[in-house]
């Protein structure tokens, strides 16, 4: 299969004070298995909306187009079915869950996904072993597992926690929505290594970012430029370098 | 009389119902005619083989009840209750003590099975003699109350060796009349309120616990209440006396079959803690809440009160309230002793058309008495939930302290949550704190959980359990697990 994800002519809008506002206006995108693709584009071009629509957020209405994941109609699935199918979204702003223990949350999620994938559930010992190894790789303090999900976490801790969840949930397609934003140099390297560790023929990533730095670590196979709700240009890693040097102006003119 | 649909038919029709305790047990019953009058009270007293003083006490309660009116201050509404349309006594027909499980009414055993009571425990509940050593495996002593009678109490031997009395209150009235006479009605007087007076007149059974000086009760005590017969009111009475330096942990669980009509439950619980004594009273209340259209369900009007009579006495109430169509319940502490401690930890969940008005009263009389109130209210569907709490510091309670925290969680946009604190401090040195919050489960939280693979139900369960954590951790281990599941089941279908 050469297409893990195939998005064709995807249109989506959100309710803005009672009137639908179109944000995605015909997105076409293909991600083959084992590849890392980057999406870049000016603020408001629809990058985050695309990630939400792929993950199944209900606020958005898909008005046209399709998205096939492993050949299945992704848009017909519930968010948790998409997660089980292998889609993971690293949130730009991870959500706080007061009173919910981080380890417990993670174990519940891991086992829910494993159940759905017909894999045996992890018992407490097996889980602890796996999660300890993962936190160590991400240079996370042990007490982060004991704290409540994202409550009182610093920006960097939240992002690392996302990568921890991603590691444990073993997705086939990870969508990283500006996971690098607000990270210092060291945190960025740790997060990038966390993603790199997952790289395999069974792991693809769609990385939304504004910065060259993360892409330097990840070495994307393809770079896509989004503007006004569409992918207007696709190319190799050199595209990201060009944007870094020249900005989006030239691309926008081209698209207009 | 309202139409009655037989439970079994109903279950078949609905397929798998979310209230899995809604079965009815078909057992030969001895039922008193409907209605309430002095003759019925005499009948109850006779059936219970009670002494004359008990009958007099009941009749006095009945006479004061006649002069009382239903309280209307709670934020609950229901059609008028016809107190003459209720059976005040229903008991499984008495047979001589069974020698083995085979001799026990199989229907009764089936009931235990459905309730998840292990077989060897079932045998004990059914009153079958168990070989030596067998009973030591079980960590909890159980008293099961079926409609109006206590059907069985387990572990009595182990307990009596420790000096602890744990038996049906009807038995205590006969066997320990002096203890009962001294304490019954001493915390909740017969004319305390409308429902307490009604209970005092017609109570049919309940549990009695006495822990003598210096004894730590060797195991958890548990009472299991079930209303089974149609149109039966359950009026149980629990009395727990813990002497100086002694302690006990007591659990209470409740279920009822699903019925179209409302059933009445009016219990009274009295706790007495002497010097340095401690009582931990935990409840998981799961009476049938009615269907999603608000038909049926238990009216739960309960008076629970504990008195810390001695210095450093401690009473701790923990409750998880998920059932009943209407809950009217305020487990309270009268903190008479110096340095005595009162605690109230509560989770009240309402869904569909349930109404709950629940909270506590902490009455500080003793110097340096302290109380803590943590109340978590969760409303979903079209339900309405109210926390109503009173903290009263009396003039001689110097240095008294109270901390109250009330948190409400709303699910959906058709439910209500209300917090009504009454705070009265009559001593300048006292310190009273009240904190309250209201929040909703946000769409962001739901989406985040579901993106991680959790179903909507699991996500709500996780968030709700997180919200209630401070209370759930107060429950004994085995109850906490059950309570967590119950919270989730109660909120099924409330999101999405």
> Is the dihedral angle over the CA atoms B41, B42, B48, B52 positive or is it negative?
positive
Residue at B109 is within a domain:
no
Structure tokens given for B410: 């709303």
> Which residues 414-453 of B have a C-beta within 8 angstroms of A?
442-445, 447-453
What's residue B11's pLDDT?
31
d(CA B257, CA B289): 10
Q: How far is CA B218 from CA A201, B123, B346, in A?
A: 60, 21, 26
Residue at B133 is within a domain:
no
Region B11-21: what's the mean pLDDT? 42
What's residue B138's pLDDT?
37
Q: How confident is the model at residue B288 (pLDDT cuts 50, 70, 90)?
A: confident
Region A221-242: what's the mean pLDDT? 93
Domain count, chain B: 1
Residue-number span of the structural domain to which B282 is assigned:
7-99+139-147+156-490
Full set of structural domains in chain A with CATH: 5-98+171-255 (3.40.50.300)
Region A128-140: what's the mean pLDDT? 90
The burial class, CB within 10 Å (0-12 / 13-18 / 19+), for A145 is: buried
Q: How confident is the model at residue B100 (pLDDT cuts 50, 70, 90)?
A: low
Q: Is B16 helix (H, G, I), strand (E, B) or coil?
A: coil
What's residue B252's pLDDT?
83
What's residue A150's pLDDT?
95
Region A177-191: what's the mean pLDDT? 87
Which DSSP string do the residues of A146-157 spell out, in sequence order?
A: HSBTTTT--HHH
Residue at B414 is within a domain:
yes
Model-level ipTM above the cut of 0.90: yes
Q: How confident is the model at residue B1 (pLDDT cuts 50, 70, 90)?
A: very low
Q: How confident is the model at residue A29 (pLDDT cuts 50, 70, 90)?
A: very high
d(CA A167, CA A174): 10
A92 to chain B: nearest residue by CA? B448
Q: How confident is the model at residue B74 (pLDDT cuts 50, 70, 90)?
A: confident
Choice between B473 and A146, residue whose per-residue pLDDT is larger: A146
What's residue B95's pLDDT?
47
Which DSSP string do the residues of B325-394 spell out, in sequence order?
A: SEEEE--EEEE-STT-EEEEEEEEEE-TT-EEEEEEEEEE-STT-EEEEEEEEEE-TT-EEEEEEEEEE-
Residue at B128 is within a domain:
no
What's residue A27's pLDDT?
96
Cα three-residue angle B426-B429-B432, rounded to 5 degrees? 70
Chain B contact set for A58 (CB, 8 A): 443, 447
Chain A contact set for B374 (CB, 8 A): none
For chain A, what is the largest distance between any 2 Cα atoms, rounded to a whole number of angstroms? 57
Q: How confident is the model at residue B303 (pLDDT cuts 50, 70, 90)?
A: very high
CB contact under 8 A, A88 and B451: yes
To the nearest whole Å, the CA of A95 is away from the closest chain B CA by: 6
What's residue A82's pLDDT?
97
What's residue B225's pLDDT?
65
Q: How confident is the model at residue B183 (pLDDT cuts 50, 70, 90)?
A: very high
> Which residues 103-132 of A have a C-beta within 8 angstroms of B?
104-105, 108-110, 112-113, 116
- B69 contact A CB<8A: no
What's residue B473's pLDDT?
83
Which DSSP string do the residues of A96-151 spell out, in sequence order?
A: P-TT-BHHHHHHHHHHHHHHHTTPPPP-HHHHHHHHHHHHHHTT--THHHHSBTTT
Q: How confident is the model at residue B2 (pLDDT cuts 50, 70, 90)?
A: very low
What's residue B113's pLDDT?
61
Q: How confident is the model at residue B230 (pLDDT cuts 50, 70, 90)?
A: low
d(CA B35, CA B418): 36
What's residue B36's pLDDT?
87
Structure tokens given for A63: 């008005």
In the predicted structure, residue B435 carries a pLDDT above the cut 60: yes
Q: How confident is the model at residue B257 (pLDDT cuts 50, 70, 90)?
A: low
Residue at B316 is within a domain:
yes
Closest by CA position to B369, among listed B394, B411, B341: B341
In the predicted structure, residue B328 carries a pLDDT above the cut 70: yes
What tens digit of pLDDT does each residue of B159-179 get?
888 899 988 888 899 999 999
Region B28-55: what's the mean pLDDT? 85
In the predicted structure, residue A77 carries a pLDDT above the cut 80: yes
* Percent of residues, chain A, with pLDDT higher than 70: 99
Residue at B117 is within a domain:
no
To the nearest whole Å, the CA of B405 is away from the closest chain A CA by: 15
Residue B70 CB neighbours (<10 A): 15
What tens digit of pLDDT does each residue of B357-394 get?
899 999 999 999 999 999 999 888 888 889 999 999 99
Q: Is B92 helix (H, G, I), strand (E, B) or coil?
A: strand
- From A83, A99, A100, residue closest to B451, measured CB to CB: A83
d(CA A136, CA A142): 8
Choice between A75 and B481, residue whose per-residue pLDDT is larger: A75
In the predicted structure, residue B182 carries a pLDDT above the cut 80: yes
CB contact under 8 A, A95 and B458: no
Q: Is B182 helix (H, G, I), strand (E, B) or coil?
A: helix
């Amino acid at each position: 299969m050469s297409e893990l994800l195939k998005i064709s002519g995807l249109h989506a809008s959100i309710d803005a004070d009672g009137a639908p506002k179109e944000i995605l206006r015909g997105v076409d995108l293909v991600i083959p298995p084992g590849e890392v693709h980057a999406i870049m584009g000016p603020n408001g071009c629809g990058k985050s909306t695309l990630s939400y629509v792929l993950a199944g957020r209900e606020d958005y209405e898909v008005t046209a187009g399709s998205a096939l994941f492993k050949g299945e109609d992704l848009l017909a699935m519930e968010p948790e079915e998409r997660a089980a199918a292998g889609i993971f979204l690293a949130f730009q702003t991870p959500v706080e869950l007061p009173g919910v223990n981080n380890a417990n949350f993670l174990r519940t999620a891991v086992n829910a996904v494993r159940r759905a994938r017909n894999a045996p559930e992890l018992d407490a010992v097996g889980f602890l072993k796996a999660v300890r190894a993962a936190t160590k790789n991400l240079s996370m303090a042990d007490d982060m597992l004991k704290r409540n999900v994202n409550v009182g976490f610093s920006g960097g801790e939240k992002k690392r926690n996302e990568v921890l969840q991603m590691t444990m949930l073993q997705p086939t397609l990870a969508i990283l929505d500006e996971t690098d934003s607000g990270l210092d140099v060291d945190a960025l390297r740790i997060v990038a290594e966390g993603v790199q560790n997952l790289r395999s023929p069974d792991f693809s990533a769609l990385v939304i970012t504004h910065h060259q730095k993360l892409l330097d670590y990840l070495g994307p196979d393809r770079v896509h430029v989004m503007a006004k709700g569409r992918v207007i240009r696709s190319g190799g890693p050199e595209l990201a370098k060009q944007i870094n040097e020249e900005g989006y102006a030239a691309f926008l003119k081209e698209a207009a | 009389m309202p139409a009655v649909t037989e439970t079994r038919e109903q279950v078949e029709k609905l397929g798998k119902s979310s209230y899995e305790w809604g079965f009815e047990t078909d057992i030969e019953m001895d039922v008193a005619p409907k209605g309430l009058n002095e003759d019925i009270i005499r009948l109850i007293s006779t059936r219970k083989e009670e002494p004359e003083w008990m009958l007099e006490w009941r009749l006095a309660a009945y006479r004061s009840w006649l002069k009382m009116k239903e309280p209307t201050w709670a934020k609950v509404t229901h059609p008028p209750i016809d107190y003459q349309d209720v059976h005040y006594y229903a008991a499984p027909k008495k047979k001589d003590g069974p020698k083995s499980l085979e001799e026990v009414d199989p229907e009764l055993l089936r009931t235990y099975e459905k309730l998840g009571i292990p077989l060897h425990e079932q045998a004990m509940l059914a009153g079958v003699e168990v070989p030596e050593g067998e009973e030591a495996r079980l960590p909890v002593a159980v008293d099961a109350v079926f409609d109006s009678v206590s059907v069985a109490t387990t572990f009595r031997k182990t307990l009596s060796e420790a000096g602890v009395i744990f038996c049906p209150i009807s038995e205590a009235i006969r066997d320990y009349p002096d203890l009962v006479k001294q304490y019954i009605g001493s915390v909740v007087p017969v004319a305390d309120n409308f429902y307490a007076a009604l209970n005092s007149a017609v109570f049919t059974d309940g549990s009695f616990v006495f822990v003598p000086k210096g004894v730590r009760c060797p195991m958890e005590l548990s009472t299991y209440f079930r209303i089974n017969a149609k149109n039966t009111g359950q009026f149980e009475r629990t009395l727990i006396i813990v002497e100086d330096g002694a302690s006990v942990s007591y659990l209470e669980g409740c279920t009822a079959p699903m019925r179209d009509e409302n059933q009445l439950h009016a219990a009274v619980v009295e706790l007495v803690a002497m010097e340095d004594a401690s009582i931990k009273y935990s409840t998981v209340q799961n009476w049938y809440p009615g269907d999603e259209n608000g038909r049926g369900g238990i009216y739960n009007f309960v008076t629970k009160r504990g008195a810390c009579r001695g210095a450093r006495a401690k009473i701790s109430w923990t409750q998880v309230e998920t059932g009943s169509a209407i809950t009217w319940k305020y487990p309270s502490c009268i903190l008479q002793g110096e340095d005595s401690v009162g605690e109230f930890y509560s989770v009240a969940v309402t869904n569909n058309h349930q109404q709950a008005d629940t909270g506590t009263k902490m009455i500080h009389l003793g110097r340096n008495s302290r109380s803590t109130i943590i109340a978590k209210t969760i409303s979903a569907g079209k339900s309405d939930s109210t926390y109503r709490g009173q903290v009263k510091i009396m003039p001689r309670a110097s240095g008294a302290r109270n901390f109250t925290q009330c948190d409400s969680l709303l699910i959906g946009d058709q439910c209500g949550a209300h917090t009504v604190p009454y705070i009265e401090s009559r001593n300048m040195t006292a310190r009273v704190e009240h904190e309250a919050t209201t929040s909703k489960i946000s769409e962001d939280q739901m989406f985040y959980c579901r993106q991680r693979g959790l179903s909507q139900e699991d996500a709500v369960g996780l968030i709700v359990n997180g919200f209630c954590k401070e209370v759930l951790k107060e429950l004994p281990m085995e109850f906490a697990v059950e309570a967590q599941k119950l919270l989730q089941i109660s909120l099924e279908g409330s999101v999405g």
